[in-house]
Structure 1
Amino acid sequence: MRRSIAVGLVTLLAVSGCGMGAEAEKPAAGGGNVTLSFLVFETPNLDAAFWDAAIARASAKVPGVTIKKLVTPNVDRTGYAKQLDASGNLPDILQSVNPAGFAEAGKFAAFTADELKNFVAPTAGAVAGKIYQLPYNTQVIPVVYYNKTQFAEAGITETPTTYQQMLDISAKLKAKKITPFVVGGGGADTWADMYPLTGTVATDVYKKTPDWLTQRATGSVKFTDPAFTSAAQKIADLAKQGYIDPAGLSRSYADTEQAFRDGKGAMYPMGSWFATSADNKKPDFEIGAFPWPSDDGSLVVPTFTGGGTSVSATAANVDLAKKWALAFDEDQQNNDAFVKADGSIPAIKGYKPPADMGPVYKATVEIYERGMAENAIVNAFSQETGDGSLPPGLADKTAVAVQDLITGEKPTSEFTAYLDDQWAKATQ
């Protein structure tokens, strides 16, 4: 989940309880009362009250555990966790922190097959065959959300199933002086510009080569190869044709979402977490949803499954920390709350979303369910975790470089060469 983080700095000097500093060096054995630190992040959808309520529900199921909540102070929660680790203050439990690097260094505790038995995709995000982050949630990244009123104004009566049809729709919208795509990424929210590229990588690269990033790690493929270059060139072309307004890149995530609500563009490629926001804060037009289309019209649904809790290998009590993490991620009310606040698609066996979810959320889930039924699920580029993911830090650098691709400051050849260069530096 990549979202704009509401700043909520928790001063480390104020943190008490086990798992921070010297106390974390010797895990406690057995039961008894224990205080565990829990690193979370806040967004407009997932505010402090949301986390407090979810923590209370999990704690009620695990007697003897007191949770000390910590809040990531910026958008890069994985980077912040690394800072804490470097200072000897790795939290006992961490929410939605990429386990890459931590797992290989023995910093996180692995979950057992029995502990993962209730998850739909128990091997998602595996590192060397082991799971260090509970795969509790699936997101479709991106979904193309669209303004049905503006489509009607441009004489568009059907959503596109091929990429050429999406280009034809964009031309009709532009002819009506309607910006086809709303894309942002200003300030700390550079990640928000990634989703058109994530869509084209899914359809042009991952559809044919699902393990492309694993092959990139072995050197079998490169970003400068024709397949990835073609995917990147599509984004450059969208901007050149005036279908993406480069001026919009200065907008924060929140401002970009508002721009779509204000009718400043007809299509908004964004992660599925937008769905409940769209239902809860309805604009004065109806919102629809369709998957990013492929050249031949076949369905491709890029997804991420993971994002759950991880447990420090040096937690004050690893067994209790894992038990609490499972209670947090498997709790029915917690998952209902995540669905209603953040458009989650919980990857828990037997879970059903609340029946009163809105139409945009239901349309989003339908895309995911079609992908599952048609075996059309692929990874969402830049969102991967575990083996077959980008080296730490490269996703953020890619998002910054995408801005240069959209503005034309970097031609596609330089953009892809830059990614290969940054990969080499990150893996030296």
Structure 2
Amino acid sequence: MKRGPALMTAATGLAGALALTGCSTSATSAGGGSGGGLTFMTFETPALTATFWDTSIAEAQKEVPDTKIKKIVSPDADRTAYAKQLQASGQFPDILSSINPKDFTAAGLLKPFDQKWLDDNFTDPDGNAIDGKSYIPPTNSQVIPMIFYNKKIFAANGLQPPTTWDEFVDVVTTLKKAGVTPVEMAGGEPWSAAIPLSGIITADVLGADPEWIQKRYKNEVKFTDPGMTAAVGKYRQLVDAGAFDKGALSVSYADANKQFLDGESAMYPMGSWFIGQIPAAAAKDYGTFLLPSATGEAIVPFNTGGTTAVSAKSSNVADAAKFAQAWSLSKANLKTLIETDGAFPMLKNVPFEEFGAKVTPVYTDGFKLVTEDNTKVSAFGQVNNDDALPPGVVEQFNSLAQKLFTSSDVKGELASFDAGWDKAAK
């Protein structure tokens, strides 16, 4: 398998955010531990519901039975931004779920996990390593994006999954002529708007040079370089070809999911977590393929996932770490993540069968991308290891994707992005 280095791996604003969740902090257990207990920042999705979090917290709390765990729910998908708001107001959580560690490590806000524990429990213990330390356990992996497609729509139009970029554009053109929205896009939410652009950059730029991000940190390459400009130009090519609905920038993630599953679009670039949104009874009607690269080689946009991060400033770091470790090793948690969030487990000592998870052929096809010998590279803008973008740059990238939906000035937008990177990386 080829892979890049380190891979396989203001008060008003806060008050508003808390108001959105109804001051969404709730004690999930009456522990009564010293120091007033610990806070755990979570998030909720159609797959990871309030019930899931409450149940998983109760299970992990068995490792720290005398410590109360209070749940704090992020009001939207940007957990990193919410954690920053909490930190600015002196309320940084003791345990945090699914944040971008690089936004906090420079300030010494996160405690790295014990290396022996990582080595003993995970198939890729250094998958989330940043400068040799891991702040999120490598519990599972994701492919970001996979291209999901509607088999019935493809068959009705005489189409097969494309393996080259030209074939992909031909599929888009054929579907557009047939009156079908070729590609679904959840453009109303910055993180999801960036998924198609991220996929193209990963396939073409990182697929050709897995060390590109490291070279950008060393200022050896630029986003305005020809290879990157050509890749981003492909995104504009899709926009110009009418691949996306004209109103895509106003479509939420939830609405995009529904539109695709209702047959209103033929393809959907999204992370492998979308597998969990496909009803088992309808799974036979959907397939996946990888976004074609410039060379035609299959490039797997890979992310080593995980959930729990621990605050180095916690009043009880030891119990916070114990809780986080227990949560990360829970087979029940992983079973739920497999079935509802399309997670591909990476626990060293647990064969897949032991999870007892019920999966669909779509999941099985995706899992093959993780387990087979192929070319895996960091999913651009999605990873939590050394290839993660500088603090704040993920948000800039998401904004770039939305801007490029309406702006054809690829070189100009990339020049601005270069400037943003240079400022953040200082």
Confirm or deny a common fold (TM above 0.5).
Answer: yes
1:281–1:319 distance in 2 versus 1, CA, 3 Å: farther
Separation of aligned partners in 1, 2:27 and 2:55: 20
1:26 — aligned with what?
Answer: none
Deviation at 1:398, TM superposition (A): 1.8
1:119 aligns with 2:122: yes
Separation of aligned partners in 1, 2:142 and 2:20: 24
Separation of aligned partners in 2, 1:386 and 1:261: 33
Retained in 2: the 8 A contact 1:224–1:420? yes
Q: SS state of the match for residue 69, structure 2? A: strand
Deviation at 1:297, TM superposition (A): 2.5
The aligned amino acid for 2:336 is A
The aligned amino acid for 1:291 is L
1:219 aligns with 2:232: no
Separation of aligned partners in 1, 2:364 and 2:59: 26
Deviation at 1:278, TM superposition (A): 0.8
Separation of aligned partners in 2, 1:270 and 1:16: 32
Is the helix fraction higher in 1 or 2?
Answer: 2
The Cα offsets for residues 316-338 of structure 1, whole Å up to 9 and x where unpaired, read as 32222211111101111111011
1:245 — aligned with what?
Answer: 245
Structure 2 matches for 1:158-173, cutoff 5 A? 158-173=160-175
Separation of aligned partners in 2, 1:388 and 1:37: 29
Deviation at 1:289, TM superposition (A): 0.8
2:278 — aligned with what?
Answer: 278
Q: SS state of the match for residue 301, structure 2? A: strand
Which of 1, 12, 23 is the matching residue for 1:10? 23
Deviation at 1:43, TM superposition (A): 1.3
Q: SS state of the match for residue 123, structure 1? A: coil
1:394–1:101 distance in 2 versus 1, CA, 3 Å: closer
2:11 — aligned with what?
Answer: none
Structure 2 matches for 1:15-414, cutoff 5 A? 35-116=37-118, 117-156=120-159, 158-186=160-188, 189-280=189-280, 282=282, 286-349=285-348, 350-352=350-352, 354=356, 356-370=358-372, 373-374=373-374, 376-407=375-406, 409-414=407-412
Deviation at 1:280, TM superposition (A): 4.8
Deviation at 1:236, TM superposition (A): 0.2
1:16–1:163 distance in 2 versus 1, CA, 3 Å: closer
1:98–1:355 distance in 2 versus 1, CA, 3 Å: closer
Q: Unaligned 5+ residue runs, structure 2?
A: 1-18
1:423–1:281 distance in 2 versus 1, CA, 3 Å: farther
Retained in 2: the 8 A contact 1:7–1:72? no
TM-score, normalized by length of structure 1?
Answer: 0.87
Task: Write out the 4+ residue segments of structure 1 that deviate beyond 6 Å after TM superposition.
Answer: 14-17, 31-34
Structure 1 vs Structure 2 CA RMSD: 2.4
Deviation at 1:9, TM superposition (A): 4.6
Retained in 1: the 8 A contact 2:207–2:293? no
Deviation at 1:424, TM superposition (A): 2.5
Separation of aligned partners in 1, 2:22 and 2:122: 32
The Cα offsets for residues 358-416 of structure 1, whole Å up to 9 and x where unpaired, read as 2222222223333xx12x11111111224332122222222222122222x24211221
Retained in 2: the 8 A contact 1:191–1:399? yes
The aligned amino acid for 1:234 is K
Retained in 1: the 8 A contact 2:28–2:57? no
Q: Percent identity at matched positions?
A: 40
Deviation at 1:11, TM superposition (A): 6.1
Retained in 2: the 8 A contact 1:223–1:416? yes
The Cα offsets for residues 300-350 of structure 1, whole Å up to 9 and x where unpaired, read as 100111332111112232222211111101111111011122111122113
The aligned amino acid for 1:419 is F
Retained in 1: the 8 A contact 2:378–2:387? no
Deviation at 1:295, TM superposition (A): 2.9
Retained in 2: the 8 A contact 1:57–1:334? no
Q: Unaligned 5+ residue runs, structure 1?
A: 1-5, 18-30
The aligned amino acid for 1:113 is Q
Separation of aligned partners in 1, 2:347 and 2:44: 23
The aligned amino acid for 2:345 is P
Deviation at 1:7, TM superposition (A): 5.2
The Cα offsets for residues 95-116 of structure 1, whole Å up to 9 and x where unpaired, read as 1111114222221111121121
The aligned amino acid for 1:72 is S
Retained in 1: the 8 A contact 2:131–2:386? yes
